A and B are shown apart, each in its own frame.
Chain A
Amino acid sequence: MNQPVAEGLVWLIFFLPVASFFLITLFLRGRPREAGLLTVGAIGVALVVSVYALVQVIGEGGHAVGFSTHELFSAGDLIVNVGARLDGLTAVMLVVVSGVSLLVQVYSLGYMHGDGGFARYYAFMSFFTAAMLGLILADNLLMLFVFWELVGAASYFLIGFWFHRPAAAAAAKKAFIVTRLGDLGLLAALILIWDRAGTLDIAAINTEVVELVGLGVLGQTMLTLFALGLAAGAIGKSAQFPLHIWLPDAMEGPTPVSALVHSATMVAAGVYLLARFFPVLDASQFASDFITWIGVITAVGAALLAVAQTDIKRVLAYSTISQLAYMMFALGIGAYAAAVFHLMTHAFFKSLLFLGAGSASHATNTFDMTRMGGLRRVMPITYITFVIGALSLAGVIPLAGFWSKDEILIDAWKYNRAVFVFGLLAAGLTAFYMVRAIALTFHGEYKGGEEPAPGEHGADPAHPHEAPRVMTIPLCLLAVLAVAAGWVTFGGEFQSWVLGALPEAHEAKFLWNTGVFIGSTLLAAVAAAAAIALYIRRDPDPARLRAHPAVAPLHRLLERKYYADVLAEDLLVRRVFYGGLAKAAHTFDALVVDGVVNGAARGTFVAGWFAKFAQNGQAQTAAAALLAGGVIIFGAVVIFQ
């Protein structure tokens, strides 16, 4: 059979970073330089192959290239397979992941230079990239779940990379456990679909299972529950309300990790999952509505939180949550192609913003924007690329973010006006908080940064300087993508790639709506103007505004993150579960369950202590007992007769 892409080549994309991980772990622990270069090389080749695969798949109209699946093991009816699926959606994701990963790995050569855990860093970066690529390639739900969990583990190790910091160790744990709560839903969905439909194959679920539900052979409730399970997994991984609480804390990891794992790729896995199972979602109105409204709540709620942050990484973290929510509600209202499109452009401009923030902290040793300011003079490249990323995020024509965001808004206008209004509101907030971040970081006077913590290496904050070329070149390349990556939408080009992955044919076309364009641009301009007035011209003064009685309560609510962390961690986990339920169970176990065991032992012992008096060996005692027994029996006979 003559295939457009050889299966071995597709697997190579996955196995290159796998090999890099094992080589570093086994042989290069003490050789940081080689570890870094090996990772860059492996992912670089993976990118080249991914691009080749994408080109070939485009030649096929985005339709799946047929590879057979391979049996890994069986246990009775259960047959577990591994196999690769390559279609328009997969190929786009492969290029995005390996592309962003490559640039981040190059950037890290400079950013992580001199760190004691340099080789460990690259080992886990290779591990992460491999797991993410495996997740994308999976042709069945179980294999997808395997890599889904592995990217979670990679995220744990990378968030907790600086494990000597208690906050980092705690954040890593929190991220893993909170996302695993969502993963339970995904696991349940997996078990349910296998039990009811007898298959885990993604293509089979998207076509045959959906058809069987349509024919009434399989239950609609089952399909909705399955879709909700997938949604639960996506809500955890993509940090949607109410499981969003792990992502801001995850910023404790090194900044390139935030750029790659916690903005561009892994957190997008939730969106990818729902896009992968879009036909299922499409067949369940309830699940679609659920995702839509989770997305709407998160998009606006997180954007508001981003307004009140003083830590630049946390601004970007809440921005990520808000943008992922955009993709979620896009999927909910049926805008599949727009969601994937936004996933791609977001990956480029958000990783650019994170790496820019990392560059700023590389010079100042802080992420606190109130300790920065004025950096545009000393860090021109960082400044310009950061502004490009911010404009792209804010959706300014003709940058990449504009095309994808507008496509979502056009679809929302078409399908659901309420969603459209909230989407527009989130877009306005986005422009506001990004201009605020730029103003605080790069404009005004320099506030002196922060001295490195004792025992940690860092730059001299008194003399901030531009980052080395190994860091600025990735910034520039990402800036080019943040500008131009959206142009693949002209003529419906991008849409045709990813729509080809769906079982049913869809018309791929470039969307344009002048009204939506004017509305969103106007709103963004107003929001940006307001932010400029507040944070650059300082008229009105933001500090006075915060103290205003009408604003102060709202500001406190945002500052405290809607009390979501307090509610989840302090109240539910610490008080109700750990201090209440678990404590009660533990006490019960020690006093009652074990108490019965020890009580039985003591009872036997006490009984023996009494019984031993019967065996004292004296004939008189025995005779007396005999007599007493005789009297009792005689008496009993007399009485009861």
Chain B
Amino acid sequence: MSDFPILSILIFLPIAGALLLALIPGQRVPTDRLFAWVPGDQQARAKWLALVVSAATLVISLVLFIDFDHGRPGFQYTDTFTWIDADDVGFTVRYAFGLDGLSAPLVLLTTFLTTVAVLISWRIDLRPKEYFAWLLVLETSVLGVFTALDLLVFFLFWELELIPMFLLISTWGHGDRRHYSAIKFVLYTVFGSAFMLVGFLILGAEAGSFDMRDIRGADLAGAVLPLQAVFAFILIAFAVKLPVVPLHTWLPDAHTDAPTAVSVLLAGVLLKMGGYGVLRLLFTLMPDVGADADLALAIIAAVSIVYGAIITIRQTDLKRLVAYSSVSHMGFVLLGVSALGVTGLSGAAMQLVTHGLITGLLFVVVGLVYDRTHTREIADMRGMAHYMPLLAAATVFAGFASLGLPALAGFVAEITIFLGAFAQHEAPTAVALLGVLLAAGYMLYALQRTMFGPRDERWSHLPDIGAWWETAPIAALVAAIVLLGVYPSIVMDLFEAAVAPIADGLALAADSAEAAVSGGA
């Protein structure tokens, strides 16, 4: 393989695009002549530039996804140079990125959903230049998290995400409570990050390097805090992000008040950073602790799935309903993780992707409905299918995908998780099965109230979707959900190969713990 830093280009292309966006002048400045050859006004230039950049990122990641060598374990396309050298300070920090079977699908998901987010924001008229710039900064931060191989680099990108998110929710959000929601989101995340940073510092100091590849083989027994505490610290950050009950209450607020595109990215990729972190960091770096924590994780997962679904049923705001359903669905990720075996871990990774696509689509359609009706109250809507048949069809499709209809992507992940988790934790898995029934309850309730029923003259003037920037992302999402539903091995093979070493590490840890117990007895 060549040394061409394709991964760095991929990660920083969006932020470069954001800088370029910032350079687009307003209408009445002298430098305007420099840009006179670009057609359109400031808004048009901003959105087209954002689209070109996000589409270019999508194309690069697609090429990487196809070019990715399935047969080779470990990281590919790695970019590494030493940033802070151990000789000077006693530890090493590396600028290091790499792609493996776990991160490759998530990177593609990120670039795909960012392109969707740009398109779905086509009509934004409030300070469009800044808006698109922050969206692209957000993309860079998420891509950095999914590809970083060094804990401190991971942490930097993890924190970078907060800046665009705060500004996007509080400036372009809906409703009076958007500042509250934005601040709640930031503080909650920072609360988790503080623990995570402590955990990272302990790991890095003990291993003498912050590079995950170094930490994995290092002896961590002499760390200042017991590894169980380090594991718990880092887990707090990921548990907030996923989110799991009871650390979830930031999510419905942030989602409800965020603009549509931000909701799509929040549910579609930001939550995935939590599940990714558990697999990439906790289970890979500290398998001994992970192999002991499985029952606790399974119980938290079952509670999240059922409790989240029950709360969802009580929601009267359509967007809040979708947001709460994410709490339930992300519980499946944790349930799969708690299985420790290849089946469960693959299912958990699959759920990251499928939930990203399905909930992304749900937020797209709910956003389009809101753009037209200016209400999110389920009680205010009815009979939308009369006036907006295509949008209603997309909503119904998304709803059925969300409730786990087979032949669509979500089912593949859920069944794999169930089959994987039952072998390890029978009771929590049995409880989690109820989530399947409850999901049908809240989704069909919402569809019945909003899409079906008699005509309502208030909504008779509403146009159906028709513009290319509305239909193209919906069609792409629908196609992806069907494709992964009937032919999941496109990404399942990657996940299966990538989680196998993680599962091996966990099994080894469990065996040695058992040997220690029986040896001591």
Binding site for B on A (CB under 8 A): 72-78, 142, 145-147, 149-150, 153, 156, 160, 163-166, 168-170, 172-173, 176-177, 180-181, 184, 187-188, 191-192, 194-195, 578, 581-583, 585-586, 589, 593-594, 597, 601
- Pick the residue among A73, A164, A173, A601 that contacts B448 (CB under 8 A): A173
- CB contacts (< 8 Å) of B445 on chain A: these are 173
> Are the CB atoms of A169 and B346 closer together than 8 Å?
no
**A367 CB → nearest B CB, Å:** 20
Q: Place the interface of chain B in its size category.
A: 35 or more
Known: A176-B444, A195-B423, A582-B313. A142 touches B342 (CB 8 A): no
**A595 CB → nearest B CB, Å:** 9
> Are the CB atoms of A180 and B437 closer together than 8 Å?
yes
* Interface SS of chain B: helix
> Are the CB atoms of B383 and A164 closer together than 8 Å?
yes
Known: A72-B489, A75-B420, A150-B405. A177 touches B437 (CB 8 A): yes
Residue of A nearest to B245 (CB): A593
- Scoring B187, B347, B452, B488 by chain A CB atoms within 10 A of each residue's CB, the highest score goes to B452
- CB contacts (< 8 Å) of A169 on chain B: these are 448, 452-453
Q: Does B297 contact A (CB under 8 A)?
A: no
> Are the CB atoms of A184 and B314 closer together than 8 Å?
no
> Are the CB atoms of B453 and A166 closer together than 8 Å?
yes
Interchain pairs with CB closer than 8 A, number: 137
Known: A191-B418, A593-B249. A586 touches B311 (CB 8 A): yes
- CB contacts (< 8 Å) of A188 on chain B: these are 430, 433
**Cα distance, A150 to B341, chains bound together (Å):** 29
**Cα distance, A597 to B423, chains bound together (Å):** 36
- Pick the residue among B314, B433, B448 that contacts A187 (CB under 8 A): B433
> Are the CB atoms of A597 and B188 closer together than 8 Å?
yes
> Are the CB atoms of B422 and A73 closer together than 8 Å?
no
- Scoring A163, A166, A192 by chain B CB atoms within 10 A of each residue's CB, the highest score goes to A163
Q: Can you list 5 A-B contacts with CB-CB less than 8 angstroms, sorted by A residue number?
A: A72-B488, A164-B452, A169-B452, A586-B311, A586-B314
> Are the CB atoms of A75 and B496 closer together than 8 Å?
yes
Q: Does B343 contact A (CB under 8 A)?
A: yes
**B520 CB → nearest A CB, Å:** 31
Residue-wise, chain B 292-330 has the 8 Å CB interface mask toward A (1 for contact) of 000000000000000100110110000000000000000
**Cα distance, A572 to B115, chains bound together (Å):** 45
- Pick the residue among A177, A195, A582 that contacts B444 (CB under 8 A): A177
Residue of A nearest to B489 (CB): A73
Residue of A nearest to B423 (CB): A195
> Are the CB atoms of A163 and B453 closer together than 8 Å?
yes
Q: Does B25 contact A (CB under 8 A)?
A: no
Residue-wise, chain B 473-494 has the 8 Å CB interface mask toward A (1 for contact) of 0000000000000011100110
- Scoring A76, A150, A164, A176 by chain B CB atoms within 10 A of each residue's CB, the highest score goes to A76
- CB contacts (< 8 Å) of A177 on chain B: these are 437, 440-441, 444
- CB contacts (< 8 Å) of B184 on chain A: these are 597, 601
- Pick the residue among A146, A156, A180, A181 that contacts B411 (CB under 8 A): A146
Closest 10 CB pairs of A and B: A76-B342, A146-B406, A75-B346, A169-B452, A76-B343, A73-B489, A586-B314, A163-B452, A594-B249, A173-B444
> Are the CB atoms of A578 and B313 closer together than 8 Å?
yes
**Cα distance, A72 to B495, chains bound together (Å):** 15
**A229 CB → nearest B CB, Å:** 11
> Are the CB atoms of A150 and B406 closer together than 8 Å?
yes
**A22 CB → nearest B CB, Å:** 10
- CB contacts (< 8 Å) of B307 on chain A: these are 585, 589
- Pick the residue among A153, A192, A194, A594 that contacts B405 (CB under 8 A): A153
Q: Give 14 new A-B contacts, CB below 8 A, not counting A73-B488, A76-B343, A191-B422.
A: A73-B412, A75-B350, A153-B400, A153-B405, A156-B444, A164-B452, A184-B433, A184-B434, A184-B436, A195-B422, A582-B310, A582-B311, A585-B307, A586-B314
**Cα distance, A277 to B346, chains bound together (Å):** 30
Residue of B nearest to A573 (CB): B441
**Cα distance, A172 to B449, chains bound together (Å):** 12
> Are the CB atoms of B436 and A589 closer together than 8 Å?
no
> Are the CB atoms of B311 and A585 closer together than 8 Å?
yes
> Are the CB atoms of A76 and B436 closer together than 8 Å?
no
- CB contacts (< 8 Å) of B411 on chain A: these are 146, 149
Within 8 A of A (CB), among B182-240: 184, 187-188
- CB contacts (< 8 Å) of A165 on chain B: these are 454
